[in-house]
Every structure is written in C-alpha cells, then in structure tokens.
Structure 1
Amino acid sequence: MVKELAIRTCGLTKQFERYIAVNDVHLEIETGEVYGLIGPNGAGKTTLIRMLATAEEPTTGEIYINGDRMVRDKSNPTIKRRLGYLPDDYPLYEDLTVWDYLDYFARLYRLREPRRTQRLHEVLELIQLGNKRNSLISTLSRGMKQRLSLARTIIHEPILLLLDEPVSGLDPIARMQFREIIKALQEAGMTILISSHVLSDLAELCTSIGIMELGFLVESASLEQLYQRLARQQIILSTLGRIDAVISELKNHPLVEEWEFLPGSNNLRVNFSGDQNACAELLRSLIQADIPVTDFHCTQEDLESIFIKLGHKQAS
C-alpha cells in the first residue's frame, strides 16, 4: 500500500545572490511521521523549513503539501490553513495574558464561537498551562513561553507542523515536557517536521531523519534504516582486573574493530562487528581467560555518532 505524502519537494533550490542556501532537494515525508532535520549551522535547514511554510519563495523547484502544489507568487490559502509553523525566533506579546494571546490568534484564523473557546481550553490543557490562563506572558518561564508558542501554532488544528529549533535553550525538564506534547500531537495524527541540535531528543521522537550539509539533503531515511546501515554495535565492558589483560584478549578476537577507554574507570567501549551470538562468545572467552568482568552490555552508536561520522564522510 502506497502511503500518502504530507510533504514532497522536487529539485527545491533557494539562492540568495551568489549563495545557494538549499540545493536541489528532493524530500518525501509520509503522513503521520515525525521527521527530524539535522545539520550544522548554515546547512540550509531554516531556509528549507521557511519555503515549506510559504514564508520564503523557492528560486526553482516544486513543493507539494498533502498532494497540493504550492503556487509561486500566490497566497496559497488552502495550504496555509493546513500548516502550523513555529520559527526559532517568534516574538510573544509580553503584555497580553495567555488566554488573550491565544484568543487573538484563534480569531485571526477565524475560529467562531462556541468552537473558539472550546479549542482554547483544549490547547491550554495539552500544553499544561490551564492554571496560567490569566497570567501575563511576561511572568512565564522560558519553557512555558515555548509551549505557549506551540499552542499558538496549533490553535487552528493544522495537519502539518513545521518546528524550527523548538527546544533551543530549554532546560532538560522543559525539553521533556515539550517532547511529551509532540508525542501527543503525533498520536492525534499530525505530521511533524522538526529541526534541532539536540539529537538525543530527535532520536527519541522521530520516525525518520534527514541530514543537510551545505544546502544538500545528503541523507533521508527512517531512523531504523539509518541505525541498521550506519550504526556500529558497541560493547561497554568493565573489569576489576588489569586492563592490559582485557586488551590482550580483545586483540585476539577477529570481530573486535577498536576500543577506547572511558575516563575515570576500568571501562572500555568496544566497537564490535558481530551479532548477539558473537557477543556471547566474546564474553565467554573473557571469563575463560580469568578476567573478572563486572559489566558487559551491548549497545549501539547513537544518532550523534552517526551524524558526526556522516559529516566526516562528506568532508573527505
């Protein structure tokens, strides 16, 4: 069964004078996905998101949102009604209350009573700010302000959400609260594209990942495929014995590729090309060599390691 695409771009390019910010991007995002966009500063992520949000005109190429083509030099009202766009620097009106701020945007989107009041209550409950409805925005914490910005973005019930660095500058608790809201929105059937430098958040949230470098989309795949193809298996190993005895045993094992010391302990991280059975064989050989193993567990390279590895590959 062919899944419907929430986003499809063909040869999407944006040039500012001599600088090409987005270069010939062919992107496909299926309906219901949480798609993470990563890349260094200047890679073209924000420009790509702005074009998808109709805030920036492409130089060349086509954009389709849920099958409808975005028309250049037109306002594209049908597409805009389906979109929720949260830029990384959107200002809040600090002298308004939380309720008045959301009510203002609900009116801009022409929500009528009684649906407007009902929707305000729904979003305030989702972002956990119901008890702050009469508070001035200037009194809110940074995390609360960011959740309020998200509420404004979804007040009109869009089916596609575009989030540019939404957790930038938030503390771990605020990031966790934001993640929970994103998960709830996905469960409600929304398609979400999110860019972030916090790769651990994306690894927990996303179904697919796109990696941008110098304006090019150099990688686009499901998170599962990315891990299968690019993540090496790793073993975290601890011992009470001499570390040189462990290394001597590791050198004899053909599936051990390399190892590194983890600071401050008798711990090693071992890159290993074998499967689970081979891991068990390695553990057995260490025990047979009378090495006092206190910890031995298999893990996988994380998204950050994959990203850095791909970056080196592109640079070489």
Structure 2
Amino acid sequence: MSDIPAPELAIATRNLSKQFDRLLAVDNVDLEVADGEVYGLIGPNGAGKTTLMRMLAAIEDPTTGDIYLQGERLDPDRPNPRLKRYLGYLPDDFPLYDDLTVWDYLDYFARLYDLREPGRSRRLLEILDLVQLIPKRDSLIATLSRGMKQRLSLGRTILHEPVLLLLDEPVSGLDPIARQQFREIIQVVREAGMTVLISSHILSDLAQLCSSIGIMELGCLVESTSIQELYQRLSQQRLQISLLGDNLAKSLDRAIAELRNCPQVESWTVGDRQLTVHFNGNETDSANLLRQLIQAQVNLYQFQIETDDLEDIFLQLGHQQTS
C-alpha cells in the first residue's frame, strides 16, 4: 500500500493508531474508502470502530498515523475548516433539543453552518422532504418517535451538503419499519454522490446498503474488501434436503448413496427427516443432483439452497481469530 493515497479515495488512513493510557483502541489501521461508495464497518463492542470514526471526524487526535480526506491530509495541529466542511458526522449519542420544533432545530444548525436566506429555508425544506418529516416541521422534538428523531439527526448531519458521511450505529434501537426508512434515505444520499462510512451491529442492513465491508477486532482492521469478494471467498453453501414418506430409512440410504457419488458434495449431516449438505457446486450442479435423487426414487418434499449471509461470515471470521 502506497504512502500517498490515490486521488479517487474519499478516505485513506496510514498506520493510524489511538492509545488511551494502557488501552490501544485503534492499532495501525490502513483504511481505504473509494469515492462514492457505502462502506460498512463491523466488529464487536470495543473493537475500535467509534474511536476510528471520531478520528476521521477530527474529534479525536491520532496518537500516530495520518488521515487523508478527499486526498488532503487532515492535520490535527492546523485547523482546516474547509476540509472539515467535507464531513457530516452522526454519533450514536448525539443529543436532541426536545423543547425545539423540528424546523427550529434544523434552522439553528443551518445558521451555525452559515447558510443564509433565501437558500437556508429552501435547504431546510429539501432536508425535511428527504427525511420524510415535512408534516412534523412544527412539532416539538419531544413528541417524535425514535425513528423520527434518528431521521431528524441525519437531516441535521447533511444540512451543509457534506461529501463524506460518517454514521456510527445510526439504526440502533429502531424497529424494522424505521430501519427501512433510514436505509431508503441512505440510498438517496449515495445516489447524490456522497460517500458513506457506516457502522452497525445489524448486519442484514449493511448487507443491503454497502458496497464494501471492513471488519475490526481488538483495534485492528482484519478485513477490508468488497462485499461481493467477501461472499465469494467466505460464504459457504448448503443444501437442505427434506425426506417424505413412511419408508424413511430406504429414502435416506438412497439419498446418501447419491451424495457419495456427487463430486460437489463435501459433507453432510443427518437430522430428523432432513439432510444438511455442504455443497460447492453451481446451479447446474444442484439441478443435476436433484434429478439424480428423483431418479433414485428418493421421496423429497424440500430441496433448498442456502448460503451464508454477512452475519454467518462475521461469526466465522471471529471464530478464526479466537481459535
């Protein structure tokens, strides 16, 4: 990895570390996030994700190492307001002001960002439309649901049209409908050209949103790759074969005989009327196996292909790290 980041990178870090007394929270991280992508950061509690984000947001100074945003070095010793305007940062505990209305809250932050009329009011309406809160513009924040508050926080984060969005656990505690609404907003933001770095423990959401994934363990970035490459390399495939009929033993024997003769079958386990088969073939191979089982007069009522999802891969990598 070159010491000078490529110009098309929205984020690049080189040998980035953060030490708190005896705790090494971030350990020599080299992170690269391409311009315009949604990059998911995952890992257990205490892995260093929040500390890494706080350094990228210029809230925490690195102990060692360098940070580059849009190709420019972020120097903690020389404040660069222009560079920091690239950023929108949503921490997992950002406070809201319950006694303000939705409009007044956004207007307050718009003034802090030095947005001026008539553009300021126009921008507030754009944000309220994006986060689906126009009907709530005159409501007190105290009356909003948790999902509405999170959408309002996101709106505040992108008021100044940053090019880089840092989201730390933005859907924590939200119900499925609120998470879906939040995902839709992130998709719109991405289509508008923003780069998004998002951490979450809800891996199914990241699998739908992200083009790349980074996995942190004990302060180290142990994986950083496209989500497609991660699936191709680490996702395992299984066939769930369920048997039907009274003469179950005969069907089971016939099924196992066919599995032994199939080169794409790696192993299998036998459950109650079910075989779980570890399978490394493609769709044609699985179709051929199904045909062979039927021709062998195996009584089937289910033949289903399953693949590991992002959560399975994460648990698999965690097991490898601790074993």
Q: Offset at 1:252? A: 4.7
1:256 aligns with 2:260: no
Counterpart of 2:252, as a letter, is D
TM-score normalised per structure 2: 0.92
1:283 aligns with 2:290: yes
Instruction: List aligned pairs for 1:48-67, cutoff 5 A.
Output: 48-67=52-71
When structure 1 is superposed on structure 2, of 230-239 and 162-171 the one drifting more is 230-239
- 1:11 is aligned, of 15, 18, 22, to 15
Rate the CA distance shift 1:3–1:276 in 2: closer, same or farther, 3 A: farther
1:244 aligns with 2:252: yes
The unaligned stretches of length 5 or more in structure 2 are 1-5
Instruction: List aligned pairs for 1:19-98, cutoff 5 A.
Output: 19-98=23-102
- 2:189 is aligned, of 185, 193, 196, to 185
Aligned residues: 313
**2:146 equivalent in structure 1:** 142
**TM-superposition CA deviations, 1:96-123 (whole Å, max 9, x none):** 0000000000000000111100010001
Separation in 2 of the partners of 1:258 and 1:235?
Answer: 11
**1:172 equivalent in structure 2:** 176
In 1, are the aligned partners of 2:244 and 2:273 still within 8 Å (CA)? yes
In 2, are the aligned partners of 1:3 and 1:30 still within 8 Å (CA)? no
The unaligned stretches of length 5 or more in structure 1 are none
**2:3 equivalent in structure 1:** none
Q: Offset at 1:280? A: 1.8
- 1:122 is aligned, of 118, 126, 139, to 126
Q: Offset at 1:256? A: 2.1
Calculate percent identity across the aligned residue pairs.
Answer: 65
Q: Offset at 1:47? A: 0.4
**2:300 equivalent in structure 1:** 293
1:211 aligns with 2:215: yes
Separation in 1 of the partners of 2:268 and 2:101?
Answer: 56
In 2, are the aligned partners of 1:14 and 1:59 still within 8 Å (CA)? yes
Rate the CA distance shift 1:212–1:261 in 2: closer, same or farther, 3 A: farther
RMSD: 1.8
Rate the CA distance shift 1:88–1:239 in 2: closer, same or farther, 3 A: same
Counterpart of 1:55, as a letter, is I
**1:306 equivalent in structure 2:** 313
Separation in 2 of the partners of 1:55 and 1:227?
Answer: 34
TM-score normalised per structure 1: 0.94
Separation in 2 of the partners of 1:83 and 1:267?
Answer: 52
Give SS of 1:185's match. helix
Q: Offset at 1:257? A: 2.6
1:102 aligns with 2:111: no
**2:158 equivalent in structure 1:** 154
Give SS of 1:151's match. helix
